[in-house]
């Protein structure tokens, strides 16, 4: 009764380890945003505290409370709008690590966004990662394992969660969330295999309207001059310290858009992601040369990498704006 959709290898490994009593004391779940890392972590927390026969049963009071994040023995630690996970948060966690479980059999700590652990927080966590008390399970979730402290990484067993096949997302939306088939098809494509994004977009219209705003800004920028592009870069860069995830989302959306233009140029229409924007994509594809699109995708990937490496965001985004190709016969960039 594991609730997570797909990720069969990870589920089988955890299930077998659980049944044979050979769970690692600390797991690292690596995967893109909304791919299912938290769902899998909560599922394991349920399995460790389930009162039913087939664990996790997802029906007993313990499973239900864990799903609703209301179980006293399951804690989620995250950045919660701050720049990093602080040593105070980890010290607070360590205080609970030494206590016996309140209501279940195991204490579970989920560190969401483990790449944001401050150096002091990571250092503080090492001892628990090395020698956790009995009945304590740690799970660290990250979108970028390269940003994780090596000392932390080496003490965890890594499980990688990759995007699901689009058809799996589509079927899950129809069967489990009762999404109408045509809408499910579009959302599954737009999700790039990250079911959590598709469910979020189905439940909250804001997700899709924000995406449209970001795409509109991109289209607008393509026909504007340097001054407007630099103004946009400055706005984006100013958000960076507050919300790195939002910048990553914008740049990922851009990569997807320009990749779609490349696919249309190459006659591979069936593989495009932004299927709700097909008409615009065809129109835009005619405005650029193949090499210009390809070059800009590389620039976007370099920019994302540079931001991961903590380069100056304003500088990175300014360079990106300069590299955005000119429309054929369009305005001077």
Measured over the CA atoms of residue 289, residue 290, residue 293 and residue 295, the dihedral's sign is negative
Cβ 46 to Zn ion shortest distance, Å = 6
Q: Which of 23/63 has CB closer to Zn ion?
A: 63
Burial class for 302, CB neighbours closer than 10 Å (0-12, 13-18, 19+): middle
Examine residue 57 and tell whether it contacts Zn ion (CB under 5 A).
Answer: yes
Based on the shown chain and the rule CB under 5 A, indicate whether residue 63 belongs to the binding site for Zn ion.
Answer: yes
**Could you tell me the smallest distance in angstroms from the CB atom of residue 139 to Zn ion?**
18
Stretch that binds Zn ion, among 23-31, 56-64, 134-142, 319-327 (CB under 5 A): 56-64
**198-257 binders of Zn ion (CB under 5 A):** none
Angle at 153 between CA 148 and CA 154, to 5 degrees: 150
Binder of Zn ion out of 50, 159, 194, 250 (CB under 5 A): 50
CB of 39 to Zn ion, least distance (A): 15
Residue 1 contacts Zn ion per CB under 5 A: no
Which residue lies nearer to Zn ion by CB, 31 or 104? 104
The pair of structure tokens assigned to 265 is 């140029």
Residue from the set 18, 52, 174, 280 that interacts with Zn ion by CB under 5 A: 52
- Scanning 16-24, 59-67, 213-221, 306-314 for contacts with Zn ion by CB under 5 A, the matching segment is 59-67
Contact flag: residue 174 with Zn ion (CB under 5 A): no
Q: Is the CB of 50 or the CB of 321 nearer to Zn ion?
A: 50
Length of the chain: 333
Reported as half-sphere exposure (CB side, CA atoms, 13 A), residue 251 has a value of 27
Q: Find the shortest distance in angstroms from Cβ 123 to Zn ion.
A: 36
Q: Is 42 in the site for Zn ion (CB under 5 A)?
A: no
Interface stretch with Zn ion, choices 14-22, 55-63, 75-83, 194-202 (CB under 5 A):
55-63
- Least separation, in Å, of the C-beta of 191 and Zn ion? 29
Compute the CA torsion angle 69, 74, 78, 81 (nearest 10 deg): 30
Which of 78, 57, 76, 74 lies closest to 66 in space, CA to CA? 74
Nearer to Zn ion, 15 or 84 (CB): 15
Q: Does 132 bind Zn ion (CB under 5 A)?
A: no
The reply on whether position 60 binds Zn ion by CB under 5 A is yes
Q: How far is the CB of 58 from Zn ion (least distance, A)?
A: 6
| Residues at the interface with Zn ion (CB under 5 A) | 50, 52, 57, 60, 63
């Amino acid at each position: 009764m594991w609730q997570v959709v797909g990720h069969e290898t990870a589920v089988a490994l955890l299930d077998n380890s659980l049944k044979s009593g050979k769970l690692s004391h600390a797991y690292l779940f690596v995967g893109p945003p909304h791919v299912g890392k938290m769902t899998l972590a909560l599922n394991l927390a349920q399995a460790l505290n389930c009162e039913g026969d087939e664990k996790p049963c997802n029906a007993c009071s313990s499973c239900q409370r864990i799903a609703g994040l209301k179980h006293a023995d399951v804690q989620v630690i995250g950045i919660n709008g701050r720049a990093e996970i602080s040593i105070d948060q980890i010290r607070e966690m360590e205080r609970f690590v030494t206590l016996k479980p309140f209501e279940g059999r195991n204490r579970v700590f989920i560190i969401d966004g483990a790449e944001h652990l401050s150096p002091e927080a990571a250092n503080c966590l090492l001892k628990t990662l090395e020698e956790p008390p009995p009945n304590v399970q740690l799970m660290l979730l990250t979108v970028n394992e390269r940003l994780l402290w090596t000392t932390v990484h080496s003490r965890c067993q890594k499980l990688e969660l990759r995007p699901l096949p689009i058809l799996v997302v589509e079927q899950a939306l129809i069967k489990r969330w009762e999404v109408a088939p045509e809408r499910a098809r579009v959302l599954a494509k737009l999700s790039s295999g990250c079911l959590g994004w598709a469910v979020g977009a189905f439940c909250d219209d804001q997700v899709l309207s924000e995406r449209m705003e970001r795409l509109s800004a991109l289209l607008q920028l393509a026909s504007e001059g340097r001054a407007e592009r630099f103004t946009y870069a400055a706005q984006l860069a100013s958000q960076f310290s507050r919300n790195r995830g939002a910048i990553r989302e914008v740049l990922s959306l851009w990569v997807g858009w320009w990749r779609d233009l490349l696919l249309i140029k190459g006659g591979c229409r069936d593989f495009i992601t932004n299927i709700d924007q097909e008409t615009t994509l065809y129109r835009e594809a005619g405005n650029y040369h193949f090499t210009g699109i390809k070059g800009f995708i590389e620039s976007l990937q370099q920019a994302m990498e540079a931001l991961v490496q903590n380069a100056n965001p304003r500088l990175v985004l300014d360079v990106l704006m300069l590299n955005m190709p000119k429309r054929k016969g369009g305005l001077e960039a």
